[in-house]
Amino acid sequence: NLELLTKLGSCRWKIKRISPMNTDAVIFADEKILHALDDKTVSQMRDVASLPGVVGPVCIMPDAHSGYGFPIGGVGAFDPEKGVISAGGVGFDISCGVRTLTTGLKKHHLKEVSEKLADSLFKNIPSGTGVGGKLKLTNNQMDEMLSGGASWAVGQKMGFPDDLRRIENNGVFRQADPSKVSKKAKQRMIDQLGTLGSGNHYLEVQYVEKIFDEQTAKAFGIAENEILVSIHCGSRGLGHQIATDYLPLMVKSAAKYGIKLPNKDIACAPIKSSLGQDYLKAMGAGINCALANRQRITHLVRNCFADILPKADLKLLYDVSHNTCNREEFLINGHMKTLYVHRKGATRALGPNSPELPHEFKKYGQPVIIGGSMGTSSYILAGTTASAELSFSSSCHGAGRVMSRTKALKSFKGKNIQDRLNLNGIIIKSGSIRGLAEEAPKAYKDVERVINVAEQAGISKIIARLKPIICVKG
**Binding footprint of ligand 5GP on the chain (CB under 6 A):** 63, 72, 96, 200, 202, 204, 322, 345, 371-374, 378, 397-400, 439, 444, 471, 473
Tell me how far, at minimum, the Cβ of 229 lies from ligand 5GP, in Å. 11
Tell me how far, at minimum, the Cβ of 111 lies from ligand 5GP, in Å. 21
Residue among 201, 299, 322, 397 flagged as catalytic: 397
Query: Which partner in ligand 5GP, Mn ion, none is near 435 (CB below 5 to 8 A by kind)?
Result: none
Instruction: Tell me the backbone φ, ψ of residue 157, rounded to 5 degrees.
Output: 70, 25
Residue closer to ligand 5GP (CB basis): 26 or 471: 471
DSSP structure string for 386-441:
THHHHHSSEE--S--BSS-HHHHHHH--HHHHHHHHHHTT-EEEES-TGGGGGG-G
Residue closer to ligand 5GP (CB basis): 63 or 163: 63
Residue closer to Mn ion (CB basis): 99 or 186: 99
Tell me how far, at minimum, the Cβ of 70 lies from ligand 5GP, in Å. 13
- How buried is 247 (Cβ within 10 angstroms: 0-12 exposed, 13-18 middle, 19+ buried)? buried
Instruction: Tell me the backbone φ, ψ of residue 58, rounded to 5 degrees.
Output: -70, 135
**If DSSP states are collapsed to H, E and C, what string results for 55-121?**
EEEEEEEEEEECCCCCCEEEEEEECCCCCEEEHHHHCCCCCCEEEEEEEEEEHHHHCCCHHHHHHHH
Give the separation between CA 421 and CA 427, rounded to whole angstroms. 7
Tell me how far, at minimum, the Cβ of 370 lies from ligand 5GP, in Å. 8
**H/E segment holding residue 43:** helix 39-49
Query: Which partner in ligand 5GP, Mn ion, none is near 458 (CB below 5 to 8 A by kind)?
Result: none
| Residues of span 89-108 touching Mn ion by CB under 5 A | 93, 96
Asked if residue 73 binds Mn ion (CB under 5 A), the reply is: no
DSSP annotation of 285 reads H
Residue closer to Mn ion (CB basis): 234 or 284: 234
| List of residues 6+ apart from 246 with CB closer than 8 A | 87, 275, 278, 279, 282
Query: Which partner in ligand 5GP, Mn ion, none is near 398 (CB below 5 to 8 A by kind)?
Result: ligand 5GP
Is 109 one of the catalytic residues? no
Tell me how far, at minimum, the Cβ of 333 lies from ligand 5GP, in Å. 33
| Residues of span 211-250 touching Mn ion by CB under 5 A | 234
- For the annotated catalytic residues, the residue numbers are 397
Which residues contact Mn ion by CB under 5 A?
93, 96, 234
